[in-house]
């Protein structure tokens, strides 16, 4: 194996696959990056058994990459990444000598690393399904950004640590909940799916995949299998395990009616809640109390040790009803932050019923926050 490659090209590929390298893995070989060089391409693969990432660089696509000799080797991920990142040269040479010795050199630098035989690497199947689902890159990033935060961190309920993707025809519904709040995003796919799917993908894995995605309008292909999902984006394949278990029917949580709808400026409401929560303490779950009086919204919070705060802002209401309700400021602020609109509608059903957050300017997104009893 022998190649010369532009540093930036290799570093970009290594940064992508390195997201799948685990330092805690019990299998030492999985701390490495697999290099596979053929006549026309270099393929890098990394896996931690939870996610697998593969990216390919084609020699005939660029003058910045030439291959002299084919071969395969596994190189310790941490060291190859550090070396490539810190080398000042524009081009880097990588050569395999004596089967397991890797020579990485430039005009003024030379590194000798011990490699691992590629035969020790676990067999990884990155097959593609004949029935793929396609979604735009930007839409996919919005889904993850607007729902992942509401998933649970508690491993006692594994199914709630993921985002539920429910695909039927051309409708994709994504739900995320930790039992105290719910985020829902519903979009129309440009092309209908041949099959219906109901799967749960770990939120953390989806967030890692989003870090690889650019700002272009390229489509992402989703290939769904019984126990895994494969995302294909440009020259990258990203495979994640699926979470076993039945996702709860979140539709039951959604109120179908409301006796009061409050419309407010999103940035102002966020700032008011943020200030009102300054005097709350973590052990009290950042509880703030919201009250409406005519066209005014009042937010209060207090702590026996710290003090109390009261904030007011102007609002629009759809009727003369009023509400007094308490909730977690942290959960409400995270829900508000997921919207990219100027105004927001808070739908109230009752003092102990969920608060529904929507916007007329983005009907694809719904957030729900459960109230907290303060008596």
Output the pLDDT for position 280. Answer: 83
**Separation between Cα atoms, residue 335 and residue 354, nearest integer Å:** 13
Output the pLDDT for position 284. Answer: 57
Output the pLDDT for position 251. Answer: 87
Output the pLDDT for position 166. Answer: 97
How many CA atoms within 13 Å lie on the side-chain side of 203?
A: 26
Percent helix, strand and coil across the chain, each to the nearest 5: 25, 45, 35
Q: What is the pTM of this model?
A: 0.94
Give 238's strand partners.
Answer: 53, 231
Q: How many helices (H) and strands (E) does the chain have?
A: 6, 26
Extended beta strands in 245-361, E state: 260-265, 287-293, 296-303, 307-314, 316-317, 324-328, 343-348, 355-359
Q: What per-residue string of b and e applies to 118-143 under the rule 16 or more CB within 10 Å gives b?
A: beebeeeebeeeeebbebbbebbbbb
**Separation between Cα atoms, residue 338 and residue 266, nearest integer Å:** 11
| Maximum Cα–Cα distance across the chain | 82
Coil, strand, or helix at residue 55?
strand
- 8 A C-beta contact, residue 221 and residue 232: yes
Could you list the mean pLDDT of each consecutive 10-residue stretch along the chain, which spans 375 residues? 96 96 81 95 95 94 88 95 96 94 96 94 93 96 98 94 97 96 97 96 98 93 97 97 95 87 97 92 80 96 89 96 95 97 96 95 97 82
Output the pLDDT for position 106. Answer: 95
- 8 A C-beta contact, residue 148 and residue 163: yes
Output the pLDDT for position 375. Answer: 63
- 8 A C-beta contact, residue 150 and residue 334: yes
Nearest to residue 318, comparing CAs of 345, 280, 290?
345
């Amino acid at each position: 194996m022998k190649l010369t490659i532009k540093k930036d090209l290799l570093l970009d590929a290594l940064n992508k696959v390195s997201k799948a390298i685990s330092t805690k893995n019990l299998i030492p070989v999985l701390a490495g990056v697999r290099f596979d060089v053929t006549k026309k391409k270099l393929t890098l693969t990394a896996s931690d058994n939870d996610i697998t990432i593969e990216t390919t660089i084609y020699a005939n696509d660029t003058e910045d990459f030439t291959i002299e000799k084919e071969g395969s080797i596994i190189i310790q991920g941490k060291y190859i990444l550090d070396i490539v990142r810190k080398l000042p040269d524009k081009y880097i040479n990588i050569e395999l000598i004596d089967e397991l010795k890797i020579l990485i050199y430039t005009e003024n630098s030379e590194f000798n690393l011990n490699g691992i035989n590629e035969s020790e690497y676990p067999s990884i199947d990155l097959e593609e399904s004949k029935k793929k689902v396609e979604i735009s890159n930007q839409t996919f990033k919005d889904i993850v950004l607007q729902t992942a935060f509401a998933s649970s961190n508690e491993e006692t309920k594994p199914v709630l640590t993921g985002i539920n993707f429910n695909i039927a025809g051309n409708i994709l519904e994504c739900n995320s909940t930790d039992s105290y709040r719910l985020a829902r995003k519903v979009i129309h796919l440009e092309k209908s799916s041949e099959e219906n799917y109901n799967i749960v993908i770990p939120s953390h894995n989806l967030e890692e995949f989003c870090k690889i995605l650019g700002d272009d309008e390229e489509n992402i292909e989703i290939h769904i299998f019984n126990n895994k999902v494969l995302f294909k984006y440009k020259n990258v394949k990203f495979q994640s395990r699926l979470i076993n278990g039945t996702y709860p029917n979140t539709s039951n949580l959604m109120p179908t009616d409301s006796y009061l709808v409050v419309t407010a400026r999103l940035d102002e409401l966020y700032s008011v809640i943020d200030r009102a929560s300054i005097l709350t303490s973590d052990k009290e779950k950042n509880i703030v109390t919201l009250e409406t009086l005519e066209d005014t919204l009042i937010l209060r919070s207090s702590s026996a040790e710290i003090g109390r705060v009261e904030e007011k802002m102007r609002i629009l209401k759809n009727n003369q009803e009023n509400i007094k309700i308490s909730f977690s400021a942290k959960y409400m602020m995270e829900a508000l932050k997921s919207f990219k609109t100027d105004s927001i509608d808070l739908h109230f059903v009752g003092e102990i019923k969920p608060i529904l957050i929507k916007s007329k300017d983005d009907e694809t997104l719904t957030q729900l926050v459960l109230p907290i009893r303060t008596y």
